[in-house]
Amino acid sequence: MNSLIELDDIKKIYPTGDTAVYALNGVSLNVGNGEFVAIVGQSGSGKSTLMNILGCLDTPTQGSYYLNGEAVATMDDRRLSEIRNRQIGFIFQGYNLIPGLDAIENVELPLLYRGIPRNQRRQMSKAALERVGLKTRMHHRPAQMSGGQQQRVAIARAIAARPPLILADEPTGNLDSRSGMEILNILRGLHQEGKTVILITHDNDIAASSDRIIRIHDGQIVADTSRETCAAPRGAKNIRAKSESASSFEKNPQDTLAFIGAKLSGVR
């Protein structure tokens, strides 16, 4: 299996006066094309920092990151925005839909930032909404939909441009169990269609829906197991913090839709 993601000795360090906080401390990880991976950790473990780096929303302090063969760790903001445009679809816990827009208009919005012509983006948005079972809800606004339906709109927005990588950050966190299962089934379906899906969660039951579980604690990968092998950690580096004062720090993703739009368009 070819690697879509290759991380080698990734560190994210935040200076705090005379000390340093290691949000990530020596993370090495390969993810192949078409894998369904869950990254599991509690609050403060570093999982959101890792997601931000995987999603090219942030860059590491040290280490290398290759996404689909491109070295992205040292790219400037403009190049990173191009990578996000082509390679990554984001799904967040809070849906981040615009209340005044209906479902199809919400899905179209990132395509507008990409400069896709109106007729083409309308067709792409319709196809994405049909894929997540919302053919009859295309002209409903968020307030007219359930939480599960809103999250399906968010998934449609993420997949409309057909990116090879889907990053889902706690996508079931605001949903009841039935709606959450529907979302997980959609993600598994995308995986079966050949997409690489990375699911960020603190919930072991949610993580169990994936084919591979990576556990992160205090900025380090402490376990990496697959459903097939239940093997010892793959690519995990259990490196202790270089300073006793170094502790985990989780950088919360700025996940407003305006932020997504600015990131997709390269606007600052």
User: Which structure tokens are listed for 46?
Assistant: 């570093």
Contacts of residue 193, defined as CB under 8 A and 6 or more positions apart, other chains included, come to none
Radius of gyration of the chain (CA): 18
The pLDDT tens digits of the residues spanning 53-77 come to 999 999 999 999 999 999 999 899 9
- pTM higher than 0.85, yes or no? no
pLDDT of residue 228: 64
Interatomic CA distance for residues 64 and 47, integer angstroms: 18
Query: 144: Cβ–Cβ under 8 A, 6 or more apart, which residues?
Result: none
* pLDDT for the residue numbered 257: 45
pLDDT given for residue 1 in this prediction: 66
Structure tokens at 224: 């990496």
pLDDT at 103: 96
pLDDT of residue 85: 83
What is the rounded distance in angstroms from the CA atom of residue 254 to the CA atom of residue 246? 24
Number of H helices, E strands in the chain: 8, 10
- For residue 92, the number of C-alpha atoms closer than 13 Å in the C-beta half-sphere is 15
The per-residue pLDDT for 14 is: 92
Q: Can you give the residue ranges of every domain in the chain?
A: 3-265
DSSP letters of 43-90?
Answer: TTSSHHHHHHHHTTSS--SEEEEEETTEE-TT--HHHHHHHHHHHEEE
Burial per residue of 103-120, b for 16 or more beta-carbon CB atoms within 10 angstroms, e otherwise: bbbbbbbbbebeebeeee
Note the pLDDT of residue 261. Answer: 47
Q: Are 124 and 160 in contact (CB under 8 A)?
A: yes
CA distance 25 to 188: 30
CATH number of the domain at 3-265, please?
3.40.50.300
* pLDDT value at residue 58: 93
Give the residue ranges of the chain where pLDDT is below 50: 230-268
Secondary structure class of 169 (helix, strand, coil): strand
